[in-house]
Amino acid sequence: MEGYHKPVLLREAIDALSVRDAWYIDCTLGDGGHCIELIARGGRVVGLDIDPQALKRVQKRFKDLGIDESKYKLIQGNFRELKDLLNKQTDPSISLRADQKFAGAIFDLGVSSLQLMSPERGFSFAKNGPLDMRMDPGLGVRALDLIKILTRKELYELFSNFGEEKYSWQVASALVSSRGVRTTKELAGLVEGVYRRVGTRNWEIHPATRVFQALRIAVNDELGALETGLEEVKDLIEKNGHIVIISFHSLEDRIVKDTFARWQDQGWGQVLTKKPILPNAQEINENPRARSAKMRVFRL
């Protein structure tokens, strides 16, 4: 296993939370990069991740680092069910039954390095693996199932809507003609073939990137989870507390931007980022995954 996930916009995100000795929610724990910094600045964190592997790994990391166990509480689950998950907690300091409110929350969306670098999870075409892409292995439908079951038109819509893929129709047609695609490398090869046939040979990012993104979003219902998760978290943050969201593609960023604008119109609080905060050149240089990150902040 490679090193830990490198947190994106770490200083910017944690600064935006104005951390003090109070409870915060990290809705996307991953390898705990943001969470560790939140605790280092004096906060306490309820950390959530949908992926049981992530949770196991972060638990060990926190133990190895000697982080005081009273400073965090880790929960496996989807942030779209945040209130339910917190309601089930018996610890009075974080249980909603004790009318708990939180000082702030962070969402660092998408997949972690752990997920990307595990070929058997099927998130990346850098290594060959089955077309799985479930963040929660308990989910019923894998990317492979979508490819096998959906019609050409449905695949076209999926790649257009969730990948904003220019050659959605050609990719959908190629997939339907060869229903034999089973692995990440096979799918990447098929999309590359489509691009070569339409005469596009020079690409900045691999042509399969958007198709993989679209399948991942569909398998995990990422946009639905984000919309619901934002509404859940809004009610849990105290007055003057902050919600920080780091997103990695325009579909997510649009949901965050529109939701924050609507909340402001409805008098819930204030958007603190008229324009999103972006990583600087040095961060992008050191961590290319940061290149598409956008951070937005709302104050209740």
Size of the site for ligand SAM (CB under 6 A): 22
CB of 79 to ligand SAM, least distance (A): 4
From the list 86, 133, 135, 230, which residue makes contact with ligand SAM (rule: CB under 6 A)?
135
| Position 50 contacts ligand SAM (CB under 6 A) | yes
| Position 48 contacts ligand SAM (CB under 6 A) | yes
From the list 54, 94, 255, 290, which residue makes contact with ligand SAM (rule: CB under 6 A)?
54
CB of 139 to ligand SAM, least distance (A): 11
From the list 19, 214, 225, 300, which residue makes contact with ligand SAM (rule: CB under 6 A)?
225
Q: Which is nearer to ligand SAM, 121 or 257 (CB)?
A: 121
List the x/- string, 1-40, binding to ligand SAM by CB under 6 A. ----x-x--------------------x-xxxxx------
Phi, psi values for residue 124, rounded to 5°: -130, 145
| Position 43 contacts ligand SAM (CB under 6 A) | no
Q: Which is nearer to ligand SAM, 62 or 159 (CB)?
A: 62
d(CA 124, CA 212): 8
The single-letter code of the amino acid at 62 is F
Q: Which residues bind ligand SAM (CB under 6 A)?
A: 5, 7, 28, 30-34, 48-51, 54, 78-80, 108, 110-112, 135, 225
